[in-house]
Amino acid sequence: MHQPASPAPSLARRRTSLCLAALVTASALGLAQGGPETVRPETKRFDMRVVTTGLDNPWEVTWGPDGALWVTERSALRITRVDPQTGEKRVTASVRHLASATGPGGVLGMALHPQLLRGTGHDEVYVAMTYDDPSRPADARVADPASPFRHLRAKVVRFRYDAATTTLVEPVTILDGLPAGNDHLGLRLAFASDGTLHLTTGDRGGNQLGNFCHAVRSQRLPTQAEVTAGDWTTYEGKTLRLTTDGAIPPDNPVIDGVRSHVFTYGHRNPQGLALGPDGTLYTTDHGPKTDDEVNVLVAGGNYGWPHVAGLRDDRAYVYARWAESTTPCATMRFSDLAIPESVPREPESAFTRPMIAPLATLFTVPSGFDFEDPACGGVHFLCWPTVAASSVESYVGGPTGIPGWDRVLIVTALKRGSLYIVPVDASGQRLGGGISREARTQNRYRDTAVHPDGRTIFVATDNGGLVEARDGGVAKNVDNGGALLAFTYAGEAPTVASTTMSAPRAPLRDEALVPAPGTTGPPPPITRGQVAAGKTAYEATCAVCHGSTLTNGTFGTPLAGAYFRRQWSGRPVAELFEKSRSSMPPTAAGSLPAETYAAILAYVLEVNGVAPGASALPADAEPLRAWRVP
């Protein structure tokens, strides 16, 4: 992320200018909601080099005033400074005593004070993180008393940077008790030009996957009683504005008669947050199957979720309220593609309250779009028109910058290993041209920082996960996991026509994984009780990545269907058992009892056609070598 360095207009002035974003013309709307086919392929050439590797899920990268790249390592629970030339890493703070790396949590957003190392006494660094807080009431959504998510919360901690020791010291929690969970946390931090801090919060993944029986509360606003009591549980699907001490600024918007930290609401999983040169705040928000959003933040604005995804256009999205099903939700199986008759639903046009339209969507498709394209080989989410927009950077080229990028937003893509370049006009409030896709690799891009000369863009990459391959196929492995990459402008690319994003092809199965003839053998033993226990454990710890149906996850590989069969059919059950114990859950591999891994595996096998019987699946790898995955 960029360091903010611009004059501080008043909030009232910014409100006046930003409210113009809501007055979008029909022609601008048409430009804002292009489909994947409108993307221009690479228009620039970049020289790429690996700055450093060995980072543990880097989540935020920021160019610091000391000339170092400041990085949060989400699952390592630390902040690291990296020399952009040599790649040398130096741990600036380890916060294992302050944070918990449960699920998608850990050390996430970070904001350096604009006056850091300028001799003004503000050598402060702010960090958003998740932590365990048993002093507060348990999460009502988590029934299992042993679940690591039962007391998970989020907080913002202020540190002082000691330049003599190059460490962060004197941690002070300025705001805690914020909602967290096993999905959709948000938690990106940024300073506004008026010196306030802004923080994004996600909707905790309600109404989908393993959380589909939990309603989305992005439209729920705090009451005065809740604010007075310091109860922040309604801060889901919001952006928050706070002072550097964590207090509610006196000029925060009054929404439904209440002034709180809430600056905007109606968001899904806003993981991007950036300050423009004129004080405009931008955010990116993950869409469901379509319509990742690029938004201009307007004080008090409602962004529509979950009633609207992208524009209020009734295209390829309806709001299905699973928690209100006339058939008990707990007895149902969630589907992204087919909504049962018992589940109430409404088109986007049914939502008539005022809302702020996105500056752009990535991307919008017509109703009837094939979200289950067989070309994806069971990894359907990679074929969806979303890109998994994980961050946004405001970039102003200037005389030494990248030609043609006078004022653009740089959006990172987790699914497609690319930078999407979103031009904005001179006002900063509207789309200023066609979107292009740049700097492609076989990686999951998490965040960016820009060198002060404007010629080099640094990209932080996830350690792993499914991603579009270089040739448009599905890749199980990334090229540069847990790394910082540097892309330096090297000239203009040859002009080519616009093209669609290629649909990922089914991944070829490794020959080493093909079972030998005649080794299928008898099915492994499982019991109904073991399957039931495994289903409960799976939904608590696995569904958020692999999906509630084992095939509809948006991070983990499918555990049923064509893709799973290609990868596992005929292999010893012991290999699948050992694989799960060595890699799951991602931030605490091997932490579950062996019996729980066996129960989860029994559930996976039952979904894949194994019939329960009288004998249970052993919780030990050695006897499991006698059976093969069907």
Distance of CA 557 to the CA centre of its chain: 17
Assess whether the previous peptide bond of 212 is cis (omega < 30° from 0): no
**3-class secondary structure per residue, 85-110:** CCCCEEEEEECCCCCCCCCCCCEEEE
Active site residue 198: no
Query: From start to end of 244-341, where are the E strands?
Result: 254-255, 258-259, 262-265, 270-275, 281-285, 292-296, 318-320
Residue type, 364: T
Check residue 161 and report its DSSP letter: E
Which tokens is 188 given? Answer: 């990106």
> From CA 5, how far away is CA 464, in angstroms rounded?
34
Which tokens is 312 given? Answer: 């209020």
Q: Of how many residues is the chain composed? A: 630
- Cβ–Cβ < 8 Å for 582, 589: yes
Of the candidates 2, 184, 198, 261, the residue annotated as catalytic is 184
- In the three-class reduction of DSSP (H, G, I as helix; E, B as strand; rest coil), residue 428 is classed as coil
Taking each continuous run of H as one helix and of E as one strand, the counts in the chain are 9, 30
- CB burial of 64-87 (b: ≥16 within 10 Å; e: otherwise) equals bbeebbbbbbbbbbbbbbbebeeb
Which tokens is 288 given? Answer: 């469901």
Q: Provide the greatest CA pair distance for the chain.
A: 75
The residue among 420, 464, 411, 409 whose CA lies nearest residue 442 is 464
> From CA 128, how far away is CA 186, in angstroms rounded?
10
The residue among 318, 147, 175 whose CA lies nearest residue 240 is 175
CA distances to 106, 108, 136, 516 from 242, rounded to whole Å, are 21, 18, 22, 62
**3-class secondary structure per residue, 16-44:** HHHHHHHCCCHHHHHHHCCCHHHCECCCE
Pairing of strands 254-255, 238-242: unpaired
- Looking at the DSSP bridge assignments, the partners of residue 295 are 283
- CB burial of 363-395 (b: ≥16 within 10 Å; e: otherwise) equals bbbeeebebeeebbbbbbbbbbbbbbbbbbbbb
- In the three-class reduction of DSSP (H, G, I as helix; E, B as strand; rest coil), residue 583 is classed as helix
What residues are annotated to the active site?
Answer: 184
